[in-house]
Amino acid sequence: MSHDLPQGTSWRQTWAIVVAAYRELNARKLFWLSLLLSGIIVAAIAGLGLDEEGISVFGWTFESPFFNSTVVPSATFYKLLFTNLGVEWWLGLGSTVLALVSTAGIIPDLVSGGAIDMMLSRPIGRGRLFLTKWMTGLLFTSLQVFVFTGACFLVIGLRGGSWEPSLFVAVPLVVLFYSYLFAFCALVGLLTRSTVASLLLTMVFWFLVFGVQSGEALTNWGRTGSAMEIASYESEILRREAENPNDPYLEDLLEERDAQAEDDATWRLVHNCFMGVMAPLPKTGETLELLERLLVDRSGIQAPERERRGEGIFGSNRVRAREVRGEIDRQAVSRSLWWTIGTSLLFEVAVLVSCVWIFRRCDF
């Protein structure tokens, strides 16, 4: 910063850009539409309720032996609604699409002829100008998620009887999730200077990330199930060997275990490939799932008897799907924040550094 500039210039410039961005949001119909939809979803959540007999929807009770307040505590039910319906589906999908549509033009508009000239002719560094404009793109999501979380906080408090300030951890998590996508969107906007291209390519990128994450989840299911299946075989083989070393069934078990081991190698290979591809990419889904990990204690939920019995995987009844799911949940919990947020932030920082580098070298 030059010594010739009045003190506080940087702050005044940043604040002016943020205020202008807020005025832009106010002028956009999509912002208000998104808020309206948030209101409808909060009203829907508030309209649902659990009691000892079953589930109530806007006052009408539907009796259910499997889904009532004895199976799921009321506060947990609302928190699950908030994390799954509210955050993962609405904020993580519907509202995100609206936010992208609304903010994809921020960088192309910034670099368009006639607009960028007056900005760059002012005493503001290019890097700071770009990053400030990028951050204003997060304003849409920040306001949406803050209002939505605030409303859900009231609903859970009033209807579920549990006041949970920790709900507001959704604000940084959802903004973080959106920032991964918006960093990519900004890069495309800077390179193509086109709102449509940045919106569409960001959607494609998001879909690809989702595809890789789904592939990883699927192959992890296979890999985990396979490992558990082998462990089950080995446990039975050891047991039978101890009881009767000449057990005629042992040979079949060894063959089946070896066949499963071959499958296991394939599962591991494919899963490792997906992990390799996924490592440098932003963990969009996992970032949102962190919220449920942080907010919802599932220990109070009684699984229905049918699910407790469960069904086997790989055509056998050795390992039940529920056990595999439990193991995968344990893996998810054991995954470090560094893996989920750290690698995602590394991706985001790399993209933003590239953007700033390009923006500083561009002629307009």
Partner 1 sequence: MDNTSVIDLRNVRKTYKGRIEALRGIDLGVGAGEIFGLLGPNGAGKSTIVKIMMTVVRATAGGGTLLGKPLGDKGALARVGYLPEHHRFPPYLTGRQVVDFFGALAGMRRTERRLRTEAMLELVRMRDWADRRLGTYSKGMQQRVGLAASLVNDPRLVVLDEPTDGVDPVGRKEIRDLLLRLRSEGRTIFVNSHLLSEIEMVSDRVAIMVQGKVWAQGTIDDLTRSSRRFEITVRGAAPEWAASLGAVRVEPASSTIALQVADAVEAQPAIDRLRAHGAIIERAVPVRESLEDLFIRAVTDPSSGGTFNPGALRDRPSAPPPPLEAAP
Site string for partner 1, 20-59 (x = CB under 8 A): x--xx-xx--------------------------------
Work out which of 41, 46, 91, 116 binds partner 1, going by CB under 8 A.
116
Q: Which among 359, 348, 358 is positioned nearest to 126, based on CA atoms?
A: 359
What's the min distance (Å) between Cβ of 112 and partner 1?
7
DSSP state of 60: E
What's the min distance (Å) between Cβ of 145 and partner 1?
23
Using CB under 8 A as the binding rule, whether residue 127 contacts partner 1 is answered as no
Q: Select 125 or 310, whichever has its Cβ closest to partner 1.
A: 125
Using CB under 8 A as the binding rule, whether residue 121 contacts partner 1 is answered as yes
DSSP state of 91: I
Q: Select 129 or 167, whichever has its Cβ closest to partner 1.
A: 129
Q: At what angle do helices 284-295 and 321-334 cross, to 10 degrees?
A: 100
Q: Which stretch binds partner 1 (CB under 8 A): 93-101, 113-121, 138-146, 237-245?
A: 113-121
Q: Which among 63, 84, 67, 51 is positioned nearest to 307, based on CA atoms?
A: 67
Using CB under 8 A as the binding rule, whether residue 3 contacts partner 1 is answered as yes
* Residue carrying structure tokens 């319906």: 85
What's the min distance (Å) between Cβ of 191 and partner 1?
14
Q: Which residues pair with 60 in a beta bridge?
A: 57
Are the C-beta atoms of 205 and 181 separated by less than 8 Å? yes
Work out which of 122, 239, 298, 308 binds partner 1, going by CB under 8 A.
122
Q: Select 119 or 275, whichever has its Cβ closest to partner 1.
A: 119
DSSP secondary structure letters along 215-280: HHHHHHHHHHHHHHHHHHHHHHHHHHHHH-TT-THHHHHHHHHHHHHHHHHHHHHHHHHHHHHHTT
Interface contacts to partner 1, rule CB under 8 A: 1-6, 8-9, 12-13, 15-17, 20, 23-24, 26-27, 112-125, 361, 363-364
